[in-house]
Structure 1
Amino acid sequence: MPAAKRLVVCGGNGFLGSRICKNAVQRGWDVTSISRSGAPRWDAVTSSATPPSWSHRVTWERGDILRPATYAPFLKGTDFVVHTMGVLLEADYKGVLRGQESPISGLRKAFTAASQPGNPLERRVSESDADIRPPETREQLTYENMNRDSAIMLAKEAAQENVSVFVYISAAGGAPVLPTRYISTKREAESTIASEFPRMRNIFFRPPFLYDSSRPITMPMAAMTGVGAVFNGVTGGIFGNLMGAAGVKPLRVDIVAEAIVQALNDETVKGPVEVPQIEELANQAWRSTMV
């Protein structure tokens, strides 16, 4: 009997990450989640505070995506690695925790036009460095260090461990309410990972807005995004660049999770994966359970 596939999900305790873990263990894979807190707070990602039965088959490890030395040991012997982490708005994270950072201040930082540090490979950041953030943004969560640099460094560590497939959760596009750096840093991560680590089969999922009834706030937001998608279709997509992800059909989070796990095991899938292909991969996953 062949050995079970080994999967590491960085951010496996999150809204999408937890469902990736669920789908993978249901296939009999050996799954490890890495996050700052370890196991999820279940009422934040599902409709119940009680851990689901499948969760006991996942190894919930603690590690800091901004400190490679804390997660690198968990990548040894792994077949697949998935990066699911990112930020929508930047913030002084210590200020947020202490209640000292206001939403207005966070928005001001997010939309700043100030120059940003180059990616960690350009700065020659190594695995032994304590923190991948440059000194000027050490106390802040930025698009550069969360959406771009953390993914690039995780890909670097995965490549060094001869991981066969690396998945980066990118995005379908930005949105009118988000600064352009939200999506530009994701595209920079895709480009750098593809060029610097070609021996891995790199997959860049570009999902739209994700929703699920277990997270009620996502339902009306999905409805609004759905209206935007219809409008974008009716107008022939001429406002697509302006609307970004707000003009793309939203998807249920479980559909995207199923598609990601299906893609990991399908050697034909590589590079950017847009919404139509996400839906097709999810359909393939569903059909495979019917056989």
Structure 2
Amino acid sequence: MRTVVSRLIQSRSSLPRPFMMTAPINGRYLSGESNKVDEPFKVEEAETIQAPPPPTEKLLVLGGNGFVGSHICREALDRGLSVASLSRSGRSKLHDSWANNVTWYQGNLLSPDSWKDALDGVTSVISCVGGFGSNSYMYKINGTANINAIRAASEHGVKRFVYVSAADFGLVNYLLRGYYEGKRAAETEILTKFPYGGVILRPGFIYGTRSVGSIKLPLGVIGSPLEMLFQQTRPLNQLPLVGPLFTPPVNVTAVAKVAVRAATDPVFPPGIVDIYGIQRYTHHKSK
């Protein structure tokens, strides 16, 4: 027995010193040779790297000096975006203070060389371009002009493209064939070039305060009551031929809010948003 104990003592004394440690005290070990507490490992503090601020979003509004376009410009400025506008007439004739914060470009979408610089640094585009006239003219303005803009934006790496189109109005579509054929051609181009960042808004009659020179036309006097009325007659919208005529009007402010959100919110779903979708998104706050 004494022999076994003696051997155990000898084997213990032969262990390397690192193994001759006592139990941990407060997370540290005491050396068996001395009662000094081992120094904890020192970790050098990582060097702080100054990351550059995120790039500022720049929005280009095509037709920003028009009725809908001007409201979109103002809404975008209120959200802190950098805003530019492109139109054939250039700077807006509005004397409102917000207009001074917009970069105004003059150019014709049918002549790409006249506005190629307007896309520099742009992250998203909203097009409000459209017009009435002969069928050939309407197709050119509503279709060809917007298609040129969509293709140019895609080539410049623009992330999102929002197009303010128009709701179907049944028989009216035939009477304004060039208008609607042009709109639908532009819609097809968006879905092709911007499958993940293209949004098409299809409002009906857009009402609000429209400025004509120094005169302000309160279109809401008519549009607002009609919107409330047609909300109650929504089932009539499903009637053949005449049903689309019951599409409710929508406030221009609502269109502007949804357009800017669709152009800047990366989780806003791509595709077509009808009048009821516009009304629904108006009441949903973006994250």
Normalising by structure 2, we get a TM-score of 0.71
> RMSD in angstroms over aligned alpha carbons?
2.5
In structure 2, stretches of 5+ residues that fail to align are 1-52, 211-215
Contact 2:140 2:182 in 1 (8 A): no
Query: Which one of the candidate residues 197, 202, 205 is aligned to 1:201?
Result: 197
Match for residue 52 of structure 1?
A: 96
Tell me the equivalent position of 2:29.
Answer: none
| Alpha-carbon shift at residue 217 of structure 1 (Å) | 6.4
Cα shift readout 1:88-137 (whole Å, capped 9, x = no counterpart) = x31xxxxxxxxxxxxxxxxxx44xxxxxxxxxxxxxxxxxxxxxxxxxx6
Note if 1:7 corresponds to 2:59.
Answer: yes
Question: Which structure is larger by alpha-carbon Rg, 1 or 2?
Answer: 2
| Offset of residue 2 of structure 1 | 2.3
**Matched residue count:** 227
> Which residue is 1:159 aligned to?
154
Preserved contact between residue 174 and residue 183 of structure 1 (Cα < 8 Å): no
| Cα distance in 2 between the residues matched to 1:187 and 1:25 | 30
Mapping of residues 65-214 of structure 1, within 5 Å: 65-87=109-131, 89-90=132-133, 109-110=134-135, 142-174=137-169, 176-177=171-172, 178-195=175-192, 197-198=193-194, 201-214=197-210
TM-score (norm 1): 0.70
Q: Match of 1:235, SS?
A: helix
Question: Does the CA-based 8 Å contact 1:5-1:29 persist in structure 2?
Answer: yes
Counterpart residue type for residue 150 of structure 2: A
Shift of 1:237: 2.1
User: How far, CA to CA, are the matches of 2:202 and 2:237 in structure 1?
Assistant: 21
Asked if the contact 1:225/1:247 (under 8 Å) is kept, the reply is no
* SS of the residue 2:190 aligns to: helix
Residues 1:226 and 1:185: Cα distance change in structure 2 (over 3 Å): same
In the alignment, the residues of structure 2 paired with residue 263 and residue 60 of structure 1 have an alpha-carbon distance, to the nearest angstrom, of 22
Q: Which consecutive unaligned segments of at least 5 residues does structure 1 have?
A: 43-50, 91-108, 111-136
Distance 1:206 1:236 in 2: 15
Q: Which residue of 2 aligns with 1:216?
A: 217
What is the letter of the counterpart of residue 151 of structure 1? N
Q: Determine which structure has greater relative contact order: mean sequence separation of CA pairs < 8 Å that are 6+ residues apart, divided by chain length.
A: 1
Aligned to 1:264: 263
- Given the superposition, is the C-alpha separation of residues 78 and 227 from structure 1 closer, same or farther in structure 2, using an over 3 Å criterion? closer
Within 2, Cα distance between the matches of 1:236 and 1:198? 30
SS in structure 1 of the partner of residue 217 of structure 2: coil
